[in-house]
Amino acid sequence: MRRAARFVLVLLAVLALVTVAAWWVLARTTKAWWESDLAMRSKLAVNSARVGLTRGWPDDRATVGRALEDITRDSRILGAAACLPDGELLAATSDYPLGFTCALVAEHAGRAGGRGFTMAPEDSLHLTATPLEGEGGVLGTVVLVHDLGYVDQRDAATRQVLFGGFFVLALAAAVATLLAARFAWKGWTLELQRALLGEASTEFQPMVRDVRALVDRLVNEREGEARGGPWDPARLKATLTRHLQGERVVVLANREPYIHERGEGGVKVVHPASGLVTALEPVMRACSGTWVAHGSGSADRDTVDAKDRVRVPPGEESYLLRRVWLTEEEEAGYYYGFSNEGLWPLCHVAHARPVFRSSDWETYVAVNRRFAGAVCEEVDSDEPIVLVQDYHFALAPRMIRERLPRATILTFWHIPWPNAERFGICPWRDELLSGLLGSSIIGFHTQQHCNNFIDAVDAFMESRIDREARAVVQQGRKTLVRPYPISIEWPVRWLHDVPGVAECRKAIRGELGLGADALLGVGIDRLDYTKGVEERLAAVDELLARFPEFRGRFTFIQLAAPSRMKITRYRELNERVEQLAAEINARWGTPGWRPVVLLRDHHEPQTVFRYYRAADLCYVSSLHDGMNLVAKEFVAARDDEQGVLLLSQFTGAARDLTEALVVNPYDLRQASDALAAALRMSPEEQRERMRAMRRLVSEFNVYRWAGRMLVDAAELRRRERLTGRLTPLSPLTGVS
Ligand code: G6P
């Protein structure tokens, strides 16, 4: 039906064009027609008055004048004048406009070449200049002034008929097309139904098999899901045991889940602000195994054993953290350089130019090899399950595969994957793709990112794309490319230690010096230019400018964890955000009220969840984000089913959380409207929206995310074993 509507629109546009063209042609033709008609009628009028005119010509002006008056009895002729050949006026009727002198008229008449002409285009007066023939030749010219107002009226009538016709025709065409489309759709559906029921052999026969397979798969999945119960740590563990013989899982991720930092009061454990850690840590708790990461804390070396391992989580030890040490140069080239100044801006549409330095690339290759080596040291079979995480390790999958050809390597890319054209600017695009294709499965948050990845492989690599299996095949080895939208644990463990909503509301308002009924918005991010923090504060500014009712009542609190501060772009962002907050406060603030509270510091998860619970709204305004787990955490925190989520349309989360107020963060008018709508939303509507989102996040939690990947991996492994396709790989080109 949507196609039919589009067709109708095109049809209407064509009809409109045809109508305008027809009107234009008609207007021009009628004009030409009227002009020659005038000339002819003038000739007739002059001929009929010829006797009177010639009798008085040129000495008896009164006789000529009377003859001219006779001509103007015709109501469409307003005035007449007689001009001598030398341009002198012989006689004129009383209504003749004397500004139209004989000389001027002769000039225009010459240009009109015998047709009617206008002297004053703004009114509807037309003139004709008709030669008066005498016995001895041309005696002079008779000028007639015609009123063509009736022509304009006819013109307007024609236009009305034409446009009326267009309207009727357009309506008829639209109705006919929509009816035809509806009948065709009905017929199509009936025929497909009959084909599916086996009642008839129709032209849809070739599709029937595919439709049945799809239906079977959906039904099986649904039944399987229902049988398995909700996804939780126990079910994930059981899945691992059932499908993968309880293999130990090794995770490779740059960021470690627990950072030991030396402080004034001794060593403390810091939980980093990272969506990746938020998602992966509960999975590791459930699966046990080893997490290989960069040891970045100042007290990290003091807390590991001789093999650089430490058991975590502190106090509830259930898996191993293996730390890999990097020199300052390695960190500068691999982490700050190639990962965060090259790949990060390459993959995010956030208007930051990627920087690609050869020295960074070389360090990236070397560090990937070192981490891949550490993974191989941590596995305890030649068929381990390795979960490679994110853009820091694009080369590691192939490096691991070279040493462990039978490994099941699941790579998950936590950030967006750009389109092929954009990705193609990276000088080492082929090596990155080749490295990733060492994986058994590559996962992205959305189908769009999968498509972009496949397009890039198609454009730059020698391989076969198996679109049906959604896979890339290289030298007989298959890499599945699938969307696995990531999520959070459910229920969130941090919430056990956080007071209820009412208590958090009261406490936070008290800490900020706000009244009990103050309206509170919250934003929680690492200070990263992809998060749209500037746009978010600008939207608050716009809200206060456009909706004075919120001045003095609404406070927006931004928790911003400083991040990647050795990179200039991030340092500049910190300054700009600070300045913007100060400007907004100076513009709207009063002695007792600051509209923006900026807390630029690292906040531990319990603190973050207190703010989620205290807030009336949470605004996630990312300019581009693979998923964004802040949005899902806010939903998880609101067990009171209140609070409104404003969510950027450029996040992966916006595809799942459709009950959020989805906005374009660049559109400040729209964003401020949404802020106002959120602040005015009734508790019933808040409940309805929040309930739906909570249902979704609780069902599609991170255990399900990991479970589905592991089940797909197990299936792939089973097939590879059956077909004996576990062939070794060729070495990675250009990466030695
Ligand atoms: C994003 C990335 C993660 C990263 C996190 C924090 O979510 O996808 O891989 O851990 O940002 O960044 P950081 O550089 O501090 O680890």
pTM over 0.75: no
- Same domain for 614 and 467, yes or no, is no
Q: In whole angstroms, give the CA distance from residue 167 to residue 160.
A: 10
If you take atom 14 of ligand 1, which residue's CA is the nearest one? 564
For 31-35, 459-463, 505-509, which range has the lowest pLDDT when averaged over its residues?
A: 31-35
> Are the C-beta atoms of 725 and 717 separated by less than 8 Å?
no
> In this predicted structure, what is the pLDDT of residue 66?
87
If you take atom 10 of ligand 1, which residue's CA is the nearest one? 274
Q: Which of 577, 588, 590 is nearest to 621 (CA)?
A: 577
- Same domain for 672 and 718, yes or no, is no
Q: Domain total for the chain?
A: 3
Higher per-residue confidence, 369 vs 109: 369
- Same domain for 122 and 59, yes or no, is yes
> In this predicted structure, what is the pLDDT of residue 41?
82
For 420-436, the pLDDT digits (tens) are: 999 999 999 999 999 99
Distance 443 CA to ligand 1 centre (A): 17
Average of pLDDT values for 516-545?
98
Under DSSP, is residue 309 helix (H, G, I), strand (E, B) or coil? strand
> Are the C-beta atoms of 406 and 400 separated by less than 8 Å?
no
Task: Assess if residue 427 is contained within a domain.
Answer: yes
Q: Which two tokens stand for residue 689?
A: 């929206």
Label residues 129-143 b or e (16+ Cβ within 10 Å = b): bbebeeeeeebbbbb
For 151-155, 570-574, 631-635, 637-641, which range has the lowest pLDDT when averaged over its residues?
A: 151-155
Task: Assess if residue 184 is contained within a domain.
Answer: no
Q: In whole angstroms, give the CA distance from residue 276 to residue 389.
A: 8
Q: In whole angstroms, give the CA distance from residue 620 to residue 641.
A: 18
Enclosing domain of residue 626 = 493-697
Helix axes 396-403, 358-378, angle to 10 degrees: 40
If you take atom 5 of ligand 1, which residue's CA is the nearest one? 274
If you take atom 7 of ligand 1, which residue's CA is the nearest one? 275
Q: In whole angstroms, give the CA distance from residue 670 to residue 662.
A: 10
Q: Which of 378, 392, 391, 484 is nearest to 441 (CA)?
A: 484
Q: How many CB atoms lie within 10 A of CB 258?
A: 20
- For the chain, the first-to-last Cα distance in angstroms comes to 56
> Are the C-beta atoms of 636 and 492 separated by less than 8 Å?
yes
Q: Which of 152, 172, 189 is the endpoint of a domain?
A: 152
> In this predicted structure, what is the pLDDT of residue 731?
44
Q: Which two tokens stand for residue 459?
A: 């454009």
- Same domain for 332 and 472, yes or no, is yes
pLDDT confidence of 734, banded at 50, 70, 90? very low
Q: Which of 152, 174, 203 is the endpoint of a domain?
A: 152
Q: In whole angstroms, give the CA distance from residue 582 to residue 561.
A: 18
Q: In whole angstroms, give the CA distance from residue 313 to residue 285.
A: 8
- Same domain for 577 and 656, yes or no, is yes
Query: Ligand 1 pocket: which residues have CB below 6 Å?
Result: 255, 274-276, 390, 414-415, 526, 563-564
272 CA: nearest ligand 1 atom: 15
68: CB partners within 8 A, 6+ apart: 49, 53, 80, 81, 82, 91, 92, 93, 142
**Whole-number average pLDDT of the chain:** 90
> Are the C-beta atoms of 262 and 241 separated by less than 8 Å?
no
For 73-88, the pLDDT digits (tens) are: 887 888 889 988 888 8
391 CA: nearest ligand 1 atom: 9
For 160-164, 646-650, 704-708, which range has the lowest pLDDT when averaged over its residues?
A: 160-164
Q: Which of 104, 124, 152 is the endpoint of a domain?
A: 152
For 162-166, 281-285, 368-372, 591-595, which range has the lowest pLDDT when averaged over its residues?
A: 162-166
Task: Assess if residue 215 is contained within a domain.
Answer: no
Query: Maximum distance among all alpha carbons in the chain?
Result: 134
Q: Which of 432, 434, 372 is nearest to 407 (CA)?
A: 372
Q: How many CB atoms lie within 10 A of CB 399?
A: 25
For 205-241, the pLDDT digits (tens) are: 666 656 665 665 565 566 566 667 899 999 999 998 8
Quickly tell me which residue has 């964003």 as its tokens: 671
Higher per-residue confidence, 468 vs 726: 468
> In this predicted structure, what is the pLDDT of residue 226?
61
Tell me the C-alpha to C-alpha distance, in Å, between residue 29 and each of 26, 32, 33, 117, 122: 5, 5, 6, 15, 20
344: CB partners within 8 A, 6+ apart: 352, 354, 391, 415, 530
- Same domain for 505 and 430, yes or no, is no
Higher per-residue confidence, 404 vs 207: 404
Domain containing residue 632: CATH number? 3.40.50.2000
HSE-up (13 A, CA, CB side) for residue 110: 6
Task: Assess if residue 51 is contained within a domain.
Answer: yes
Under DSSP, is residue 331 helix (H, G, I), strand (E, B) or coil? helix
- Same domain for 339 and 475, yes or no, is yes
> Are the C-beta atoms of 400 and 323 separated by less than 8 Å?
no
DSSP tally for the chain: helices H, then strands E: 24, 22
DSSP 350: S
Pocket mutation for ligand 1, best pick of 255, 393, 411, 531 (most atoms within 8 Å of C-beta) = 255
- Same domain for 471 and 500, yes or no, is no
> In this predicted structure, what is the pLDDT of residue 87?
85
526 CA: nearest ligand 1 atom: 6
If you take atom 16 of ligand 1, which residue's CA is the nearest one? 255
Average of pLDDT values for 460-480?
94
If you take atom 6 of ligand 1, which residue's CA is the nearest one? 274
- Same domain for 477 and 526, yes or no, is no
Task: Assess if residue 214 is contained within a domain.
Answer: no
- Same domain for 447 and 577, yes or no, is no
> Are the C-beta atoms of 51 and 64 separated by less than 8 Å?
no
Task: Assess if residue 172 is contained within a domain.
Answer: no
Bond into 58 cis (ω within 30): yes
Distance 253 CA to ligand 1 centre (A): 10
Task: Assess if residue 164 is contained within a domain.
Answer: no
Q: Which two tokens stand for residue 359?
A: 């020295």
Q: Which of 621, 528, 524 is nearest to 570 (CA)?
A: 528
Pocket mutation for ligand 1, best pick of 251, 259, 274 (most atoms within 8 Å of C-beta) = 274
Higher per-residue confidence, 578 vs 55: 578
For 146-160, 341-355, 547-561, which range has the lowest pLDDT when averaged over its residues?
A: 146-160
Distance 214 CA to ligand 1 centre (A): 37
Domain containing residue 131: CATH number? 3.30.450.20
Distance 171 CA to ligand 1 centre (A): 56
Task: Assess if residue 673 is contained within a domain.
Answer: yes
- Same domain for 44 and 138, yes or no, is yes
- Same domain for 553 and 642, yes or no, is yes
585: CB partners within 8 A, 6+ apart: 594, 595, 596
